[in-house]
Amino acid sequence: MLLDKSILELAAGLRQDEFTSVDLVNECYDNIAKYNDKINAFITILPRETAIKQAQSVKLTSPLSGLPFVIKDCFNTSGITTTAASHVLKNYIAPYDATVYKKLLTAGAILIGKMNMDAWGHGGSSENTDFGPVKNPWDTTRVAGGSSGGPAAAISARMAVFAIGEDTGGSIRNPAAWCNITGLKVTYGRVSRYGSIAYASSFDTVGPMAKTAQDCAIVLETIAGVDPYDATSSPISVPSYSTLLNKKVSDLTIGIPDEFFQAGLDPEVKTAVLKVAEDLKNAGAKIKNLSMPLFDYGLAIYYLIGPSETSSNLARYDGIRYGQGREFFTDETTRRILIGTYALSAGYYDAYYKKAQQVRTLFIEEYKKALTKCSVLLQPITPTQPPKIGELMSDPLQNFLADIYTTSQNPIGVPSLAFPCGFTKTGLPIGAQLVGPMFSEDLLLNIGYQYQQLTDNHLKSPLSKGDLEGLKPKP
């Protein structure tokens, strides 16, 4: 299957006429026809004929030229519906393109669809959507993770070469872990948010999702950089990430925060994540245990500031200027709006929102302190294996707790790389994350790449004999 190949292998194959961009497009659409009804990863599938026409005329000017990709349905795309997985925007067509989308088109990549997600980014399972839940390709009775569940499921089931997701509190990393792909939550400001429908503006980040760390590095080279339309985008120059992957890990120290491995973490997940430390140690890295005592407050900070910002951001969706009325908000979205409105209200602002911002500052110092003792931090991504569909949505508190290990990085702005690190005894994927200092994407991608040279978890796909049977790898 062509879609099992890396981006560099595909780019080389196109240039050497081993296959064509049309072949890639057709393989994507063939897999969509086979698997999407079972997975429900797409909200909008662009016409095959349109993609083929683009593939026939593409000029190979970059490694992404001629490669089919998908994008989470929270990014504006002129002429194509953008829904944020909510019936509030069911028929909304933006008059302009998100910067990340425009950069990919300029690079010659071919959009084939817009992906299902938790509405407005509110959720960790891609069940809080008006377009039906996304199902995990490894076990379609389970969730794919969220809120970027559609992009993750599509990459896992080989329906696209790479994807663009958005991460506010784990929305790239959570589904990457549960679908056995690689995903990067970038430093705040590394990639422009212009044209992305906002959840929490001071947390939101835009990043790549793909099979490998190397693929993510190549995509990041294209989408990163300052944007005059986004005042929060960083003017720091963009490294050539894909050429910085071959450094050995022998000079690095991997920090293990004790608080991330306490009660509540599934034993199989804990074992798999700590095995990453063992593998990196065998490759020459040093391992250092350390403490981050403020960890217990991370979820509370996120779920005060995040809903406060979303209550403000979603106020524009009143059905008067565009879209439909607020009666189309889901229960989960309504819950977050109410929490945020309450935290910002007179008499409660100082007690909740202001206090959360003060603790946020302490958390910044906590991460800075930890990262002076080590090169990067190794952490779990999710506390559990992928839950059955319906389990998280029936328990709002458990829905919040699904993001317990991923919500402390976004308020600080630091980057985090999620990557496959094993499977449960029943064959379900497990992921780990590496967290580094601001603008250390090159370091994270380098370690991720080196780890993926030692292991083959990232090469495994749920596709077997033409359907979604699941590979059931040996643990």
Annotated catalytic, 250? no
**Could you give phi then psi for residue 73, rounded to 5 degrees?**
-80, 35
The shares of helix, strand and coil residues in the chain, as percent rounded to the nearest 5, are 40, 15, 45
Q: Which of 85, 122, 90, 73 is nearest to 333 (CA)?
A: 122
- 416, β-bridge pairs: 185, 435
* Amino acid (one-letter) located at 438: M
Strand positions, DSSP E, 229-285: 253-257
* Residue 82 tokens, joined: 């953008």
Question: Can you tell me the distance from the alpha carbon of 399 to that of 389, in angstroms, rounded to the nearest whole number?
Answer: 12
Q: Which of 161, 158, 167, 76 is nearest to 118 (CA)?
A: 167
Annotated catalytic, 72? yes
Choice among 21, 125, 147, 416 that is catalytic: 147
Annotated catalytic, 5? no
* Residue 322 tokens, joined: 């565009």
Choice among 72, 103, 114, 135 that is catalytic: 72
Cis peptide before 147 (omega within 30 of 0): yes
8 Å CB contact between 376 and 443: yes
Please list, residue by residue across 60-90, b when 16 or more beta carbons sit within 10 angstroms of its beta carbon and e when fewer do.
eebbbbbbbbbbbbbbbbeebebbbbbbbbe
- 380, β-bridge pairs: 432
Question: Can you tell me the distance from the alpha carbon of 337 to that of 326, in angstroms, rounded to the nearest whole number?
Answer: 11
What is the Cα gyration radius of the chain?
21
* Residue 382 tokens, joined: 């999710």
Choice among 86, 156, 171, 242 that is catalytic: 171
Positions marked active-site: 72, 147, 171
